[in-house]
Structure 1
Amino acid sequence: MSTFLQFHLLTSYGPSNPNRDDQGRPKQAMVGGSPRLRMSSQSVKRALRESTFFALDLKDAMGTRTKRLCEKLAAHLIAQGTEEAVARDAAAQVAAIFGKLDAPRKGEELRLATTLAFISPEEWQLAEELACKIVAGDDLPMGKDLKKLVLRRADGAVDIAMFGRMLADDADFNRDAAVQVAHAITTHPAQAEEDWYSAVDDLNKAEETGAGHLGETAFGSGVYYQYVCVNCDLLIANLAGDRDLAARGTEALARAIAQTAPRGKQNSFAHHPRAHFMLAETGPQAPRDLSGAFFEPVRKPPFLDNSVAALTRTRTDIDAAYGRAWQAECVLHVGVRGTLDEIVRFAGDAVRGA
């Protein structure tokens, strides 16, 4: 039986464009027949990984997502005095463990072809050691036995344990994500707007009137609902049984999701929101999100308060019909009750007690 930790957040964003589509506009979605602004789960997860709560507090327990393993291994060997050609050949053999290598263009380094490899600190160290063994001419196994010298099914990389990874060439070393992150959507109808702007040439004082540059950018604003679900037992297993590291990672997650946003166009809009409402639940019951609270969109102000009311009402109704999907809860409601520190302690205790 697994223990689940669920987070439900309502966060207001002023005019901003934190997560753009292919045309540079805020991502959108149709929900319940109404247009909404959206932030993708991928953008939210990257923001979490890059937050200070992960990047600093868990610095030695973070993986690296990259296609550049081959060139970094080669540079490591060359720095140790290995001839360049030998170093590049050894690095290519090791990098191929993580996926197929792309044929480089002239002047470019060998890189993984299709997907970014998600590499834990332990795997990176083992990859360097294996490259050194190849250079030294050691006898090494072939095929899967060679991969086992580097790849791990569980280790101390918090972000890989949380968000999972897929190795297309060897599913045996995939990691199932212990943390599920939903796309965030506005609780009310919302659409992107256009901002036409101009810039003045500082050296144009008299010759011409008007702007030296014209441009446009898109933005949106709204109250977003965000859902995150943590499988505490899977997180511990993905971290090779290190319960304390799993708890510290979950505490960092709780702090980050309340205070971190994707950083698209941040210099232009200075969006640094904090969650207005945050509900944490834990228990062995099957998890459920509460996005259904907003399929009928909130249409009347105050949007934050009415969003909290809709979320709370839907939670009560679902629990009445299906039984409570939690055994314990903790609430942060700005101006009403609770603190982020209480949420963080609750999250850590949920993992330590799993």
Structure 2
Amino acid sequence: MTKFIQFHLLTAYAPANLNRDDTGRPKTAIMGGIERLRVSSQSLKRAWRISEKFGEALSGNIGVRTRRLGRDIYQKLLDKGVTEKSALATAAKIAEQFGKLKNDKGAKGDLVNLDIEQLVHISPDEQQQIDQLLALLAEQGGREPQDDELKLLRAQAGGVDIALFGRMLASAPGFNVEAACQVAHAIGVSAVTIEEDFFTAVDDLNRKEEDAGSAHMGEQGFASALFYSYICISRDLLLKNLNGDEELVKRTLRALAETVVTVSPTGKQNSFATRAYASYVLAEIGEQQPRSLAVAFFNPVRSDNQVAEATQRLEEQYKKFDRAYGVCAERRYVMNVESGEGSLSELLDFICQ
């Protein structure tokens, strides 16, 4: 049976614009017939993946997400003394192993046509294989790679970020990796009203001889919410994606858990200082079928003490599921900042037992 690790978090944010839509306003969703503030799972995962905390904990095991692999290869070959013509041909051959190239005939310059049509996540193992091949080709006069050498690039995608969040390439399905970690969109537990901040900027060198007005005017949306977040990890799949490296699995789980409770989305960070730690974390481990506790908030929280009521609703909801379906987790750990229950270090130890 598959072992699952589930996290349920409550995190409070003061007025902010954590994750914008196409108009620049904070993203929202209708839940229970009421508009709520929302942060997309893509925004959350990117904030965690590129955070300093995650990077330091898993240094050397994190890949890079890019369309510009071909350009990088091209420049490395030039730096090794390979001619421009050979570098272009080799860069194209290697990059197209990871996806279809743009081949934009109207583009200015050859480098654009080295770009892969869609973002591709390159693992550290794959990058190492590429670098070794480039060194060999440069030593041998800049010759083009052979088919059997290109096949060697198809290494196990052992990067922890790929193992957690997966990789999907429609043009190269052989490189697909099923995500071991599923992340729900964070959703506000109460109704939301988006407000507009009107602002001006003053020219520091304007001495008001002619014009005392501002040099720039603008507006941006903002809102505040207590968010419910849900994360589910298949520990077995994570172990498989990391090639059976149990020690790396434990490091990955610790790094991810610490990151999700302490790292915030980066949208409009300089304007709002949107830094927050989770106020409540419920971690569950077991082989039972996973389930979100979002139903606890289909009726919006309207209390003067939203953190306390939302916490109570979460704990009541998992008990309701336990009564109806049987115990839904073998072990649980609670960190409740407001009541003083639990600690981050104990939480990290719990999920790695």
The verdict on a shared fold, with TM-score over 0.5 as the criterion, is yes
Equivalent residue, structure 1, for 2:146 = 140
Which residue among 330, 344, 351 is the counterpart of 2:348? Answer: 344
Q: After superposing the two structures, state which structure 1 stretch, 131-140 or 289-298, moved more.
A: 131-140
Residue 73 of structure 2: SS of its match in structure 1? helix
Partner of 2:286: 283
**Matched residue count:** 345
Query: Cα deviation per residue 1:204-243 (whole Å; 9 max; x = unaligned)?
Result: 3333334332110111101000000010010000000001
Do structure 1's residue 125 and structure 2's residue 128 form an aligned pair? Answer: yes
Aligned counterpart, 1:27 = 27
Instruction: Structure 1: give runs of 5+ residues left out of the alignment.
Output: 350-354
**Kept in 2: contact 1:99–1:112 (CA 8 A):** no
Confirm or deny that 1:243 pairs with 2:249: no
**2:184: which partner in 1?**
182
CA distance in 2, matches of 1:108, 1:172: 27
8 Å Cα contact 1:6-1:227 kept in structure 2: yes
- Distance verdict in 2 for CA 1:270–1:108, change over 3 Å: farther
In the alignment, which residue of structure 2 is the partner of 1:157? 159
**Structure 1, residues 35-63: CA drift from partner, whole Å, max 9, x if none?**
00100000000001011222122120001
Q: Is the 8 A contact 2:89 2:144 kept in 1?
A: no
**Contact preservation (8 Å) 2:122, 2:157:** no
Shift of 1:138: 7.5
Is the 2:182–2:233 contact (alpha carbons within 8 Å) kept by the matching residues of 1?
yes
What SS does structure 1 have at the residue aligned with 2:226? strand
Gaps of 5+ in 2: none
Could you say which residue in structure 2 is the equivalent of 1:85?
Answer: 85
Q: Deviations over 1:257-299 (max 9, x none)?
A: 0011110100000011000000110011111011111111111
Deviations 1:187-210 (A, max 9, x none): 011132111112222233333334
2:32, 2:298 within 8 Å by CA — same for their partners in 1? yes
Instruction: Describe the SS at the equivalent of 1:26.
Output: coil
180, 191, 194: which one pairs with 2:193? 191
SS at match of 2:20: coil
Structure 2: distance between partners of 1:240 and 1:32: 42
Residue 33 of structure 2 aligns with an amino acid whose one-letter code is G
1:8 correspondence with 2:12 = no
In the alignment, the residues of structure 2 paired with residue 335 and residue 310 of structure 1 have an alpha-carbon distance, to the nearest angstrom, of 15
Letter in 2 for 1:121: P
Per-residue Cα deviation, 1:290-315 (whole angstroms, up to 9, x for no partner):
11111111112111111111111111
Partner AA of 1:3 in structure 2: K
The share of aligned pairs that are identical, in percent, is 43
Matched, 1:201 2:193: no
> Which position in structure 2 is the counterpart of 1:352?
none
Contact 1:36 1:185 in 2 (8 A): yes
How many Å separate the matches in 1 of 2:61 and 2:277? 26
Residue pair 2:10, 2:228 contacting (<8 A) in 1 also: yes
- Kept in 2, the 8 Å contact 1:53–1:253? The answer is no
Task: Report the CA distance between 1:2 and its aligned residue.
Answer: 0.9
Letter in 1 for 2:108: K
Specify whether residues 331 and 218 from structure 1 end up closer, same or farther in structure 2 by C-alpha distance, changes over 3 A only.
Answer: same
Alpha-carbon separation, structure 2, partners of 1:236 and 1:120: 16
Deviation for aligned residue 1:172: 2.6
Q: Which residue does the alignment assign to 2:42? A: 42
Q: 1:69-110 deviations in whole A, cap 9, x for unaligned?
A: 101111111111111110111111010000111125213513
Tell me, yes or no, if the aligned pair for 1:130 and 1:149 is still in contact at 8 Å. Answer: no
Q: 1:49 to 1:133 in 2, by over 3 A?
A: same
Q: Distance in 2 between matches of 1:278 and 1:312?
A: 11
Return the TM-score normalized by structure 2.
0.93
Residues 321-346 of structure 1: CA distance to partner in whole angstroms, max 9, x if unpaired?
Answer: 11122111111100310111111111
What is the DSSP-based 3-state SS (H/G/I as helix, E as strand, rest coil) of the residue aligned with 2:203?
coil
- Name the stretch that deviates more: 123-132 or 7-16: 123-132
1: CA distance, partners of 2:303 / 2:115:
51
